[in-house]
Amino acid sequence: MAREMEVTLNGEKRRLPEGCSLLELLASLELRVDRVAIELNREIVKRDGWEGTRLQPGDVVEIVHFVGGGR
């Protein structure tokens, strides 16, 4: 059993396997979203960096997408 760590994901504390990559995180969330953007500790991580970016304990992750909005 892999060891766990705590990160903050979209404002909530979550326990994830140690060394979890952003791509693995997305897969585990089973999100049905077309396009998302990811911020790690306030810095955007581009799509091609999701696989290689491994989370550290205490990281703050934001996953955003588009919702209806306008005037």
Binding site for another protein (CB under 8 A): 9-12, 29-39, 42, 44, 46-47, 62-71
Q: Least separation, in Å, of the C-beta of 44 and another protein?
A: 5
The closest of 59, 13, 17, 15 to 38, measured between CA atoms, is 59
Measure the CA dihedral 13/57/53/68, to 10°: 20
Q: Least separation, in Å, of the C-beta of 56 and another protein?
A: 20
51 within 8 A of 21, measured Cβ to Cβ = yes
Of residues 1 and 35, the one with the C-beta less far from another protein: 35
Q: Least separation, in Å, of the C-beta of 24 and another protein?
A: 15
Tokens of 7: 């990160």
Of residues 3 and 42, the one with the C-beta less far from another protein: 42
